Amino acid sequence: MKGEVAVIGVGLHPNGVFANKECPELAMYAILEAIQNAGIDKNEIDAILTQDTFSDRWYNSDLSWCKLVEMLGLEGKCRINFRISSGGSTSSTAVHAAAGMILMGKAKCVLVSHADKLNSGFESIQQVIDAFSSFGMSQEFEAPFGYNQQAVSAFVANLYMKATGATSKDFAAVALSMRKWAALNPNALIRKVPALEDIINSDMVVSPFTKRMCNVTCDGAEAFIIASREFAEKVCNKPVYVLGMNSIVTHYSIMNNPFARNINVKNINFWSSWEKVANESYQEAGLKPEDIDIAEFYDAYPILPLITLEACGFVEKGKAGQFVLDGNTWPGGKLPMTTNGGMIAGGHTGTGGGLGIFCEAIKQLKGEAGERQVANAKYALTTESGGQGMDAHVLILGGEQP
Amino acid sequence: MSEKWARSQRKFIKRVFTPKITNYTKPFWEGTKNHQLKYQQCKNCSYIFFPPQPNCPNCLSADLGWKISAGKGVLATFTNIHFAAPSWMSEKMPYTVIIVRLDEGFTMMSNLINHKPKDIEIMKRVEAVFNDVSDEITLPYFQPVEEQ
């Protein structure tokens, strides 16, 4: 499948608080930008996939995937429409589904859309917290203990510290890297760059993460259009090819991840699933870690970028914190990482968090990333993970075919 | 376990989260009411697993048996929640959420209680204690095992 499908356009509504806009309005903003960015006639879209949304039933039980067919005037033209969901990894899942339909010849130009209001769509911040303390987990064996989605990353971070000797400073370095990129991104939620010490010394939220290491939920919308190579090359002067994509699902509840069941301090292993899918994707793409110009890593919290920097072959195990601290992933660094500011600084729109990072990879490879543009970026590696870190997705994208 | 936390737990169970007990998880909750920690083992392939489910995840057999755990294990990982807790736990901050690997080989999520900060350590030995949060629900918590 290498290079047989390509992303041709992306669109993003800024992240923030938009109490006076409903999800359909946010969604259409991003979709229209994506259509314009792809340079296509809207009537070319023959499949519509919408991602899961938490705050608004429009995207779920109100069948947004079908309503969008009407809103875009595609009645009788769109061949298939459905909702797609794997939490934080949904944009990778959507690429997989779209690629399958395209390679089967059942679609040629697929629109993927998401909008959510994780700030103004709820009555209070406490309601948002309660939602993320009950979504995606067992209501019987997890929620009663005050577990929440922040604890997922914190569990792994505490193990990572035990296994590698990492400290709070390493996590702060990742948050700082995100802040530095977000400062250059007009769509980002938080654009101030604090001192490293301020990140370390901000209030403890969920140990070992302090307030400035945690993402902030917000409203936003994202969209992308993916097409067959033939169609992409006809309509778009800079298609971004999907060169490799692989994934694996390791657990539902993090308590049943093999690292917990086989706990042994001498051999704590959270790298293996990421190593597997990264190696498969490198092989598929015919590329090596040193060929990658940008690492568009899923964050949500500062632990996953460290693990994936190591598992994807960029840094030795246990050395990722120092690598980030030395400025390698910051603007001007040798491996720019999560250049939209991720969710830690860019803002968390739910399943759109990963989608925003994916769209950023496309912008970079198309050379449309504005102030954040990484010069001569040819290849990007993206990672995504959903639920309680249930899966590992690695995609390799190229502005050209190797 | 403070009375105040027990009260808030009771409130939360009734207000938000009365666990929806299913046919196949009922023996677990009957166990905790009797201050016993029960888990399933497959009679066909001997596989041990948690949480309870209607079939063995290893061989898919529905021929399952219930065993009583000794309630002892190790703290596999943890986090202390200082801020942004769900409303049913907000009075309890900071509290410690843990994953425990029981000696029988299964893992479960819980809270660590009756502990000092130095006890919050990966591989620390812990044991189950039971809190009757309502007439229907008893939650299993864990506390550090005192060094001999």
Q: What is the ipTM of this complex?
A: 0.93
Q: Which residue of B has its CA nearest to A135?
A: B86
Burial status of residue B48 (CB atoms within 10 A of its CB: 0-12, 13-18, 19 or more): middle
Encode pLDDT of A325-336 as tens digits: 999 999 999 999
Best to test chain A binding among B99, B103, B134, B141 (most A CBs inside 10 Å): B99
Q: Is A260 within 8 Å of B76 when comparing Cβ atoms?
A: yes
Q: Which residue of B has its CA nearest to A208?
A: B79
Distance (Å, whole) CA A176 – CA B69? 45
pLDDT band at B14 (very low <50, low <70, confident <90, very high): very low
Task: Flag whether residue B19 sits within 8 Å of chain A, measured between CB atoms.
Answer: yes
pLDDT at A222 over 60: yes
Q: Is A126 within 8 Å of B87 when comparing Cβ atoms?
A: yes
Start-to-end CA span in chain A (Å):
14
Chain A residues lying within 8 Å of B105, measured CB to CB: 261
Out of B86, B92, B106, closest to residue A133 by CB:
B86
pLDDT at B10 over 70: no
Instruction: Identify the top-confidence range among A46-55, A143-152, A193-202.
Output: A193-202
Chain A residues lying within 8 Å of B87, measured CB to CB: 126, 129-130
Encode pLDDT of A300-327 as tens digits: 999 999 999 999 999 999 999 999 999 9
pLDDT at A24 over 50: yes
Phi (first) and psi of residue A54, to 5 degrees:
-95, -40
Task: Flag whether residue B97 sits within 8 Å of chain A, measured between CB atoms.
Answer: yes
User: Among residues A224, A217, A301, A299, which one has the least CA distance to residue A16?
Assistant: A217
Task: Flag whether residue B23 sits within 8 Å of chain A, measured between CB atoms.
Answer: no
Give the distance from residue B81's alpha carbon to the nearest chain A alpha carbon, in angstroms: 5
Give the distance from residue A163's alpha carbon to the nearest chain B alpha carbon, in angstroms: 10
pLDDT at B147 over 80: no
Could you give the angle at the alpha carbon of A42 between the alpha carbons of A38 and A45, nearest 5°? 85
pLDDT at B17 over 90: no
Q: What pLDDT is stored for residue B90 in this prediction?
A: 85
Burial status of residue A109 (CB atoms within 10 A of its CB: 0-12, 13-18, 19 or more): buried
What DSSP element (H or E) covers B10? helix B3-12
pLDDT at B7 over 80: no
Query: pTM of the full predicted structure?
Result: 0.94
pLDDT band at B148 (very low <50, low <70, confident <90, very high): low
Chain A residues lying within 8 Å of B78, measured CB to CB: 155, 158
Three-state DSSP class for residue A381: strand
Alpha carbon distances (Å) from B51 to A139, A143, B29, B58, B126: 12, 13, 12, 14, 19
